[in-house]
Amino acid sequence: MRWTTFVIVAAALLTLQTAVAPFFQVFGARPDWLFVGVVYFALYARARDAVIAAWVIGFCADLMTIERMGLVSFSYALSALCVTSVREYVFRYRALTQFTMTFCTCMLVQTAWMLYRRLMFSSTQSIWMDWLMGALLVSMYTGLWAPLLHKLLLKFSRLLGIARPRYSHAGLHALETPDV
């Protein structure tokens, strides 16, 4: 991966997350475009590069939050590790795959964060309402943004030094150039 281009893409994602995402808030839930970037790198970059990129994006997000340092970076890196472990078994360029990967891993991260907050701080809401309004809504909304942002980020795959997978071993020559 070309790290100079990655820094530019990560800075753009960070800027969009802080400056533009609040305008797309629905029922108190903002899309986590940084997490979509993490899933993008986990689906398409080399596994080691994807985990490093996820950790760096999470570290930058850690700097912008009031949470304990390392919480976001650790969970983003762990999410990238999960996605890289199953990406060989899915069709990466399909919108349904991008949505599902983003939704499932975001759901795990949001649920873990919700449980962490419940253990650290007291809450007056029921745990199910917290989970429904927090984890489920944010994960669904983030997942719905995934195909659009993946399509945009795939245009930069050459500049990022991310190789496109070939499906020739399966006899699927038509999928070598995706129509995302």
Inter-axis angle of helices 33-44 and 137-154, nearest 10: 50
Long-range contact pairs involving 131-137 (C-beta distance under 8 Å, separation at least 24): 133/27, 133/28, 133/29, 134/29, 134/110, 135/107, 135/110, 135/111, 136/107, 136/110, 137/26, 137/27, 137/28, 137/29
- 174 inside domain: no
- 175 inside domain: no
DSSP 134: I
- 169 inside domain: no
The two three-digit tokens of residue 111, written as one number: 């649920």
What total number of domains does the chain contain? 1
What was the pLDDT predicted at 40?
96
- 9 inside domain: yes
Q: What is the CATH number of the domain that holds 81?
A: 1.10.1760
- 85 inside domain: yes
What was the pLDDT predicted at 116?
85
- 166 inside domain: no
- 179 inside domain: no
SS3 (DSSP) at 29? strand
User: Could you say which residues of the chain have pLDDT below 50?
Assistant: 179-180
φ, ψ of residue 26 to 5 degrees: the values are -130, 120
- 176 inside domain: no
- Give the CA angle between residues 150, 156, 157 to the nearest 5°: 80
What was the pLDDT predicted at 180?
47
Task: Give the structural domain span for 131.
Answer: 3-20+29-160
What was the pLDDT predicted at 178?
52
